[in-house]
Amino acid sequence: MHAARFGAKAVIGIDASEGALDLARRNAARNGFELRCRFEAGNVFDLLKAQEGEGREYDCIILDPPSFVKRRKEVENAVRGYKEINLRAMKLLRPGGFLLTCSCSYHLSEGRFREILLDAARDVGRTLRLVTLRSQAKDHPVLLPLPETEYLKCAVLQML
């Protein structure tokens, strides 16, 4: 809704959950954006790959996947998943376009997240400019004795 509210001419939301998509459709209608927002059910990996094959391009892509890693021993599989989803999105961005990408995996450090993004950009032959790297908002407090409470990462990148 923020993208539509702040000027996006068209917004496409993709989610595997029909329930989440129904909520998104109702929210778009409540906010007067039903004509600019549409929502599709599907696997985002498959849809991004298909859109690359169709030659689609976007000015902005927002990735907010579920946690790809629940346990430390799953980190390497998660790294592959994060790299793949970001690589696919980067291939669809116009020069100058923006990628807003998130991770909610505690076991994936901020440094490793940045490495994944850099590796994906190298693989697609693009240069990234880091606009900002954020953590969680105040409604997700970080408790110093519980490091696992600091788990959200969000990078805003510009493809050059």
- The DSSP code for 140 is S
Residue showing tokens 């990078």:
155
SS3 58: strand
- The DSSP code for 155 is E
Which of 37, 60, 102, 104 is the catalytic position? Answer: 104
Q: Measure the CA–CA gap between 17 and 41, rounded to whole angstroms.
A: 7
DSSP character string of 77-135 = HHHHHHHHHHHHHHHHEEEEEEEEEEE--TTS-HHHHHHHHHHHHHHHT--EEEEEEE-
104 is catalytic: yes
Q: At what angle do helices 75-92 and 110-124 cross, to 10 degrees?
A: 40
Active site residues: 104
